[in-house]
Structure 1
Amino acid sequence: MTGETVDPGKISLLKHDGDRRARALRAAFEPSAPKDLLRGFAALLVATAVVISVLFGVGVSVIYRAEMIRDAEVLADSVAEALLAQERDLLLAPAEPGVVAVRLAEEHFAAFDRRMRRYLQPFGIYKIKVYDADARIVYSTDVPLIGRADPDNPLLRQVLASGATLSEIKRRGQVADLGGGVRFDVDVVETYLPIRHDSRVIGSFEVYLDLGRQYEQLDRSVAVSVVAGVLVVLVAFAVLFAFARHGAARYALVLSEFAHRDATDPLTGALNHHVLLEKTEALRQRLGDGEGQRGAICLALIEVDQFPALVDAAAPVTVDAALRGVSSAIHEQMRDDELLGRHRGGTFLAVLARPDLSDAVLFGERIRRAVSGTATPGGGRSVTASVGITRCLPADDVATAVRRAEDALRRAKSDGRDCVRAA
């Protein structure tokens, strides 16, 4: 002894862990386990397919939207460069000695506006604005906006401060187009492009590019991509599910074999003792009124006479064959709803769905005669059996009734064996 003490908390944790493992092990060997696993796997596949499809669709949409913005920026940048190159003399004017600013003289406005609308129309551009360094609109195809300041526009402020090109997709409630009309609920890419002079940002273009056609293409492309992706996922998951179902079938077969081995004696095919007791209670419930009441049954203990001597005198193969013959002879005399179990050694316990003791005694006589007709293989001696019969009333415990059957069996053996006695 080391004198060390054990923490009760550790014992509790170990106990709970062992209980969980035991429960998990029992659940894994339940007959319904393969179907439960297959249903769980199918649900997991469906959920995974949905998640993959959603993520794939969102990912494709995000990628396409990013490409649309990039394309819009490229187009807007090309348009802005071309405009600035063509109209530089009109748009850039000295504000003070040595300082150039974005300006548009009033006398040039009408001709400049016509050229803008004619030039921008083929590019799908709704509107264009030209800002000076103070975020004031110098020119716009939406004429009423000219002269207004937009200092609270975060993208515009950032472009004027950093000189970067920035874009965003927006849904506008209404937009005045180049033809003078108004369009409602329009999706546009707003692109802000800096206007530079001698590496200094002195203003900005704002270009509204129509996304209607691109959005239609986007919707079609996303739909096609998602459908294609879903089909690929479904095919892959169908293959996985087929393998899983095959594995579940093999698992169920193995469980069935284990259950059969656990439930029956491998030598004689009779039920093992604990399984026999469980099925006996179920039989009594079926024979009752279905409200938890148990019906009357009879029990028969059949023992191969002088079984120890037979084991000592014969080879194991011979003894096994004799036991199989006895089990088969008993089975032939039983009804389909009656039970036969291996009680111990050379003793079998028959559970009879017969409430009448005299009927059970007649059954025992038939068993005795049937067993007496068997012989050990190789011309050995004949096998005989002693039978003890008892009645198990609804109020009786099966174990108590089995002890009465054992008393009857002992009387049969003391009366010379190869006979039937009832208790």
Structure 2
Amino acid sequence: MNLDSTRPERQKNPEGLLRLFLKTAIVSVIVIVTLKVFSFYQVFSGFVISTAEDNSVQLCHLLLDQQKSFLFRNVPGQGMQLAIDGKELPVLDRNMRSFLHPFNIIKIKIYDNNRRIIYSTEKALIGLVDANNKRLSKALAGKADTELETKGQTHDLSEEKLLDVDVVETYIPIKDSAGKVLGSFETYVNVTKYRAQIRTGLLILTAVLVLILVAVFGFSYILIRKGVNQLKQAQAELEMLAVTDVLTGIANRRRVMTRGEEEFARAIRSGERNSQPAQLCCVMLDIDHFKRVNDTFGHQAGDQVLREVAQRLQRSVRPYDIIGRYGGEEFVVLLPDTSFEQTRLAAERIRMAVCSEPISINGDGITVSISLGISCLIAEDHCLDDLLKRADEGLYKAKNAGRDRVEWV
């Protein structure tokens, strides 16, 4: 009988735990890498925006200092105001472009406090009023506002077309010496060159993170795998102990009864399906005068006899027959799909296998015999106990008839 094939399904649980760990590890790697990459992108983008804003503020202050004669007018009753004389606009534009050329500024606008564009490197915009611009409103309230945007198409100061450009757009309030807001700059700084750096940084970060996480989870997997294998081995040993007789190594009574109930039900179904008598037979055997062996040679010798009888019993039956220690010196064999005559012959074969050759105990040979009772399933049997009971009665009949024989009722 192969006990390994009958292990409970719950032994698969450790493998399920390992698969769960793998799924969790994969999801964790994806989530961690995604969050870290996103965080890195946010930090790097923030740094680019902050740097571009600081540079824009400094450039605008320099512009105001250099071009203030073109940008400011003292209006009677209103004080200093942002205003550009149309006649001076070409000169201002030339000065602006010359000043901004070495930098990454691709466009600049100047608004007065009425939201009107009084100057732009894009000349078509001059004179327009940007009434609904919330970011401009923030700048006219005295606070700078900066955003990073990707523009599909724009032009630089040389009127050359630029495609797919990353731009930091900054609104910078223009204030007089008293802190009054007179208008606002709007600058466009080309930061596309940082895109490749960000991409490279993200790739390096992703690779490093993945390697670290794979190393950590891989090492953890090895440890867990080792633990799972040990757990499976322990489970297998415990389950084997639960169904195996420790002394003889064959099935214990509990296991025999469980398998016997299964075979009993299968035989009944098979008989009903084929309209034939159900076939399941039983051999019950007991070692003759076993107490005398214990008293004469000791309990260790008795244990050796039990082990040897179990081994000879195993060698005498078919691989799919069910054998087990029923209790004490008593053994049972269940033979599926077997007729009465075949069972009688099998019992005789078992008897001869046990008694034909002495059992060696510490160099001495002990000859033992066994008594056997057999029974086969009949229509009146309602459960396995009915079959076992008749085999047991046959066993006692063999004992009473002088032992070392096969009997039935």
After TM superposition, the structure 1 = structure 2 runs for residues 13-412 of structure 1, keeping only pairs within 5 Å, are: 30-97=10-77, 99-161=79-141, 163-198=142-177, 199-280=179-260, 285=266, 296-307=279-290, 315-353=298-336, 355-372=338-355, 373-375=357-359, 377=361, 382-392=367-377, 397-412=383-398
| TM-superposed deviation, 1:177 | 2.6
| TM-superposed deviation, 1:291 | 11
Structure 1 counterpart of 2:186, one-letter code: E
Instruction: Call closer, same or farther: CA 1:421–1:174 in 2, change over 3 Å.
Output: same
TM-score normalised by length of structure 1:
0.84
Structure 2 counterpart of 1:116, one-letter code: M
| TM-superposed deviation, 1:223 | 2.2
- Provide, for residues 380-420 of structure 1, a one-character-per-residue CA deviation record: whole Å limited to 9, x for no partner: 96433211112236995433211221121121122122211
Structure 2 counterpart of 1:67, one-letter code: F
| TM-superposed deviation, 1:375 | 4.9
Structure 1 counterpart of 2:402, one-letter code: G
Instruction: Call closer, same or farther: CA 1:374–1:302 in 2, change over 3 Å.
Output: farther
Structure 2 counterpart of 1:136, one-letter code: R
- Provide, for residues 352-401 of structure 1, a one-character-per-residue CA deviation record: whole Å limited to 9, x for no partner: 24512222222222322333344584559643321111223699543321
- Provide, for residues 102-147 of structure 1, a one-character-per-residue CA deviation record: whole Å limited to 9, x for no partner: 2222121101111212222332222111112222212111112112
Contact 1:326 1:374 survives alignment (8 Å): no
| TM-superposed deviation, 1:99 | 2.1
Amino-acid identity (%) = 29
CA distance in 2, matches of 1:358, 1:376: 33
- Provide, for residues 57-110 of structure 1, a one-character-per-residue CA deviation record: whole Å limited to 9, x for no partner: 212211121111112112212221221221122212223346222222212110
| TM-superposed deviation, 1:217 | 2.6
Q: Which runs of 5+ in 1 are unaligned?
A: 1-26
TM-score normalised by length of structure 2:
0.87
Instruction: Call closer, same or farther: CA 1:257–1:291 in 2, change over 3 Å.
Output: farther
- Report the 3-state secondary structure (helix = DSSP H, G, I; strand = E; otherwise coil) of the residue aligned with 1:320: helix
Q: Which runs of 5+ in 2 are unaligned?
A: 1-6
CA distance in 1, matches of 2:158, 2:267: 89
| TM-superposed deviation, 1:311 | 5.4
Contact 2:138 2:144 survives alignment (8 Å): no
CA distance in 2, matches of 1:155, 1:286: 87
Structure 2 counterpart of 1:402, one-letter code: L
CA distance in 2, matches of 1:231, 1:75: 38
Structure 2 counterpart of 1:111, one-letter code: V
Contact 1:29 1:255 survives alignment (8 Å): no
Structure 2 counterpart of 1:364, one-letter code: A
CA distance in 2, matches of 1:164, 1:49: 41
- Report the 3-state secondary structure (helix = DSSP H, G, I; strand = E; otherwise coil) of the residue aligned with 1:270: coil
Greater than 6 Å deviation, 4+ residue runs: 286-295
CA distance in 2, matches of 1:368, 1:216: 88
Instruction: Call closer, same or farther: CA 1:181–1:28 in 2, change over 3 Å.
Output: farther
Pairing partner for 1:418 from 389, 404, 409: 404
CA distance in 2, matches of 1:309, 1:214: 97
Match of 1:5 in 2: none
CA distance in 1, matches of 2:389, 2:199: 81
Contact 2:293 2:301 survives alignment (8 Å): no
Structure 2 counterpart of 1:401, one-letter code: L
Contact 1:61 1:222 survives alignment (8 Å): yes
* Greater mean deviation of Cα atoms: 278-287 or 321-330: 278-287
Instruction: Call closer, same or farther: CA 1:134–1:114 in 2, change over 3 Å.
Output: same
* Greater mean deviation of Cα atoms: 310-319 or 243-252: 310-319
Instruction: Call closer, same or farther: CA 1:405–1:234 in 2, change over 3 Å.
Output: same
CA distance in 1, matches of 2:298, 2:15: 45
* Greater mean deviation of Cα atoms: 305-314 or 260-269: 305-314
- Report the 3-state secondary structure (helix = DSSP H, G, I; strand = E; otherwise coil) of the residue aligned with 2:101: helix
- Report the 3-state secondary structure (helix = DSSP H, G, I; strand = E; otherwise coil) of the residue aligned with 2:10: coil
- Report the 3-state secondary structure (helix = DSSP H, G, I; strand = E; otherwise coil) of the residue aligned with 1:111: helix
Structure 2 counterpart of 1:257, one-letter code: E
| TM-superposed deviation, 1:330 | 0.9
